[in-house]
Amino acid sequence: MQYRTLGDTGIPVSALALGTMNFGRIGRTTQDDADAIVGAALDAGVNLIDTADAYSAGQAEEMLGTALSGRRDDVVLSTKAGLPMDRSGLRQGASRRWLTIALENSLRRLGVDHVDLLKVHRWDPATSDEETLSALTDLQRAGKIRYFGSSTFPAHRIVSAQWAAREHRLSRYTVEEPSYSILQRGAERDVLPVTEQHGMGVMVWSPLASGWLSGAVREGREIATHRSQFMTARFDVSLPHNRARMDAVEKLVPIAEAAGLSMIQLALGFVTAHPAVSAALIGPRTVDHLTDQLAAADTVLPAEVLDAIDEVVAPGLDLAAHEKNDAPPALLDPSLRRRR
């Protein structure tokens, strides 16, 4: 396993981090499965584990807490808050009120008295940076979190938050969690340069592009998904962006084969090659999936392979930008870009 420092925190973390979104109802992963996955990951040298309150409505945190029993101090434990937990509008966002409640709920579900890292799951345009950073700083000073960060923030919001922390003499975001893969390279344009400039650690999500880079998705092959209703549109090759992804996959396969690598090794080796990236989050549903992904733990892609990838998907290009969940609100709501 390779290890890197998480930004300028000084914490050494494994280049592959365990994500737990599939624990519970979302991935139909049982407690026994979770126990086996966490145990195998730790035994393989993984020391960074990430979860979120929104994963199966808290079930993933509960299962992870059980799986970590007796081994809490062996990991850097990260969770997230901010996505809606119900339809009330009160159990979401980045206000002081909700972040305080959400963290207490997460600590209870995880069975711990603190987490090492709490990330705001998405930028909340209704809440000021000062409000959010002040709340997180207080939670840090209370010993309930060691560090805090952001997830899927646009680059300008990362910069805004860094400025606000300095302006108001508050602690700052030390980690960002963006979407990044061979098929989604937009983070290279602005997010990754900004995180490097501010000494932030980077944990990338969906490095296998929702399974497109797993090796199981090929031209003419039936695609089976465990979340069919949720995922079907992501693999409908009649859609132009999916057609572009399939074409790219078919060009990437011979690159991987020529290098003696699996598609998973190619994909994970690509994201961990970027100097801004601290860790790639893998989200196995089974121990077999974990084993396949851990095979990339020591993968280092040579320059010629990285050059070949650049020829297939240009640096900075997203093949499905709408799936990254980082679009500014004005791009989604026409009223926000029209003078009244």
Distances (CA, A) of 268 to 180, 204, 256, 264, 334: 10, 10, 12, 6, 37
d(CA 24, CA 20) in angstroms, rounded, equals 9
Q: Are strands 3-5 and 12-14 parallel, antiparallel or unpaired?
A: antiparallel
Q: Where does residue 2 rank: exposed (0-12), middle (13-18), buried (19+ CB within 10 A)?
A: middle
Q: How far apart are CA 151 and CA 177, in angstroms?
A: 4
Provide the token pair at 143.
């010993």
Q: Which of 3, 55, 147, 180 is catalytic?
A: 55
Residue recorded with tokens 């890197």: 4
DSSP string, 201-266: EEEEB-TTGGGTTSS---TTPPPP-TTHHHHGGGG-TTSHHHHHHHHHHHHHHHHHHHTT--HHHH
Check if the beta carbon of residue 100 is closer than 8 Å to that of residue 93.
no
**Are 248 and 319 spatial neighbours (Cβ–Cβ below 8 Å)?**
yes
Beta bridge partners of 205: 179
Contact 137, 118 (CB under 8 A): no
Q: How many other C-beta atoms are found inside a 10 Å radius of the C-beta of residue 128?
A: 15
Instruction: Find tokens 């209870």 and name the residue.
Output: 108
Q: How far are the Cα atoms of 33, 98, 231, 303, 310 from residue 250, in angstroms, in the given order? A: 32, 45, 20, 21, 14
Tell me, yes or no, if 55 is annotated catalytic. Answer: yes
So which residues are the catalytic ones? 55
